């Protein structure tokens, strides 16, 4: 009979290690520093030139290289991904990849990256881009079509938006030789700012739209996801939901996530907030309510400084494909500066650890900080059971 330690080691060896990140926003200012920038003209109320965001960032953190190499933006994250032996890499790509000039007219912010800059995604060996979000149609249906075509040409899987509803709802199927598969489904909710008219239909392109987070909706999408499941499949439900700022989580969204877990989903991968929010271990599975931005051009933009949108996390869960349960949840603190990721300073890692402990207490989840400044999420039986998601 195996000892507990040997059983743990075996579980780790057979597990599938994922990289999940918050929003990857490589448009606008970041696009301008890469080798093939788009026309910098913007259609925002206050900023009319994307290069303005580069100048704002430089005022805060110093010079940013122009014609940057594709891997520049990922910085220290690349070494961490290799060190962690990640099996599959998944991001929420909150940027249209297009040179189209046909912007969505009644929308205030438009993100796009030139298709010739797609190497900035390939440089991190990203396996899957989730597209069910509120910026993927910023440059209209032409922009969406070019995004899909560009990702296909680069060999990067995608899910959550498509030429029709069936394509938008179809999963990205990621094989992990010798272990199983990862099925990624991407949904976009109106609470994140997605216009209902962006919903894909049988005859119209768009996003895989999640009308609400009701019990009925959870049952429906869980049934749709499980219909694709085979033995040793890990299902990841990517959900773009909630507002950009603040720590509050709706009770309805917590119940929705719990129901998905109870119906067999391995990971609920939530994002939209520009800063890190609550993470939870529920029934030995991972729920992320708000991953924060992983890459953005927000340096130097005033407002909400106390929420520290420059601090982010690499989410590196290890999941047993035999039962979908989490073997380990390792989180690596990072900081965005000069449009590049670096390991967070010790004080910032402590800040994120304390934040997750405060936010996770009502959900019986805590975090521990290791000597290397990485965090581990753990279930906390001693935490309170009263649900109060309004931490400020």
What are the domain boundaries of the chain? 4-379
Joined together, the tokens standing for residue 294 give 């992983």
Task: State the Cα–Cα distance between residues 148 and 229, nearest whole angstrom.
Answer: 24
Give me the pLDDT at residue 380, please. 83
Provide the β-strand partners of residue 24.
93, 295
pTM: 0.94
DSSP conformation class of 227: T
Give me the pLDDT at residue 7, please. 46
Compute the radius of gyration of the chain from its Cα atoms: 20
Rounded to 10 degrees, what is the CA torsion of 350, 89, 290, 9? -60
The residue assigned the tokens 């110093």 is 62
Q: How far is CA 350 from CA 112, 248, 271, 375, in A?
A: 34, 21, 22, 9
- The interaxial angle of helices 251-262 and 215-226, nearest 10 deg, is 30
Joined together, the tokens standing for residue 292 give 């924060």
Pairing state between β 279-282 and 285-288: antiparallel
197 contact partners, CB below 8 Å, separation of at least 6: none
Q: What is the pLDDT along the chain (392 residues), one digit of tens a residue?
A: 434 554 455 466 789 999 999 999 999 999 999 999 999 999 999 999 999 999 999 999 999 999 999 999 999 999 999 999 999 999 999 999 999 999 999 899 999 999 999 999 999 999 999 999 999 999 999 999 999 999 999 999 999 999 999 999 999 999 999 999 999 999 999 999 999 999 999 999 999 999 999 999 999 999 999 999 999 999 999 999 999 999 999 999 999 999 999 999 999 999 999 999 999 999 999 999 999 999 999 999 988 999 999 999 999 999 999 999 999 999 999 999 999 999 999 999 999 999 999 999 999 999 999 999 999 999 986 443 333 333 33
CA angle in degrees (0–180, nearest 5) for 125-329-207: 55
- Compute CA 390 distance to the chain's CA centroid, rounded to the nearest angstrom: 22
Q: Are 186 and 208 in contact (CB under 8 A)?
A: yes
Joined together, the tokens standing for residue 280 give 């939870």
Q: Are 43 and 75 in contact (CB under 8 A)?
A: no
Pairing state between β 96-97 and 112-113: parallel
- Among 236, 227, 209, 232, residue whose Cα is nearest residue 127: 236
Give me the pLDDT at residue 387, please. 36
Query: 361 phi and psi, to 5 degrees?
Result: -55, -45
- Among 343, 328, 342, residue whose Cα is nearest residue 379: 328
Rounded to 10 degrees, what is the CA torsion of 88, 31, 169, 16? 10
Q: Does domain 4-379 have CATH number 3.60.21.10?
A: yes
Q: Are 373 and 344 in contact (CB under 8 A)?
A: yes
140 contact partners, CB below 8 Å, separation of at least 6: 100, 102, 103, 104
CA angle in degrees (0–180, nearest 5) for 207-212-215: 130
- Compute CA 112 distance to the chain's CA centroid, rounded to the nearest angstrom: 17
Give me the pLDDT at residue 381, please. 62
Give me the pLDDT at residue 162, please. 98
Provide the β-strand partners of residue 3.
none
């Amino acid at each position: 009979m195996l000892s507990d330690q040997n059983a743990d080691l075996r579980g780790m060896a057979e597990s599938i290690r994922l990289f999940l990140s918050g929003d990857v926003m490589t448009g606008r200012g970041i696009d301008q520093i890469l080798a093939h920038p788009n026309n910098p003209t913007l259609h925002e109320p206050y900023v009319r030139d994307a290069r303005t965001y580069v100048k704002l960032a430089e005022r805060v953190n110093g010079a940013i290289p122009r014609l940057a190499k594709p891997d520049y933006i990922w910085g220290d994250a690349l070494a961490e991904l290799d060190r962690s032996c990640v099996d599959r890499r998944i991001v929420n790509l909150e940027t249209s990849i297009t040179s189209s000039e046909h912007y969505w007219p009644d929308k205030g912010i438009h993100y796009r990256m030139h298709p010739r800059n797609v190497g900035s995604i390939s440089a991190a060996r990203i396996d899957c881009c989730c597209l069910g979000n509120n910026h993927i149609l910023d440059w209209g249906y032409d922009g969406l079509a070019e995004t899909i075509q560009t990702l296909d040409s680069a060999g990067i899987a995608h899910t959550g938006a498509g030429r029709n509803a069936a394509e938008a709802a179809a999963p990205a199927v990621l094989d992990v030789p010798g272990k199983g598969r990862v099925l990624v489904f991407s949904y976009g909710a109106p609470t994140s700012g997605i216009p209902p008219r962006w919903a894909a239909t049988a005859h119209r392109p768009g996003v895989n739209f999640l009308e609400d987070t009701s019990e009925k909706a959870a049952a429906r999408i869980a049934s749709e996801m499980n219909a694709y499941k085979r033995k040793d499949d890990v299902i990841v439900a990517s959900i773009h939901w909630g507002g950009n700022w603040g720590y509050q989580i709706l009770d309805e969204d917590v119940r929705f996530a719990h129901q998905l877990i109870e119906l067999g989903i391995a990971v609920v991968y939530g994002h939209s907030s520009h800063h890190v929010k609550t993470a939870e271990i529920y029934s030995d599975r991972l729920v992320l309510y708000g991953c924060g931005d992983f890459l953005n051009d927000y340096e130097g933009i005033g407002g909400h400084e106390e929420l520290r949108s420059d601090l982010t996390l690499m989410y590196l869960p290890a999941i047993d494909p035999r039962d979908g349960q989490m073997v380990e949840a390792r989180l690596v603190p990072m900081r965005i500066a000069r449009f590049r990721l670096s390991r967070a300073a010790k004080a910032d890692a402590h800040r994120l650890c304390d934040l997750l402990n405060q936010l996770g207490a009502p959900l019986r989840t805590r975090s521990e900080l290791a000597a290397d400044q990485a965090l581990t999420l753990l279930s906390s039986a001693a935490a309170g059971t009263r649900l109060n998601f309004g931490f400020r």
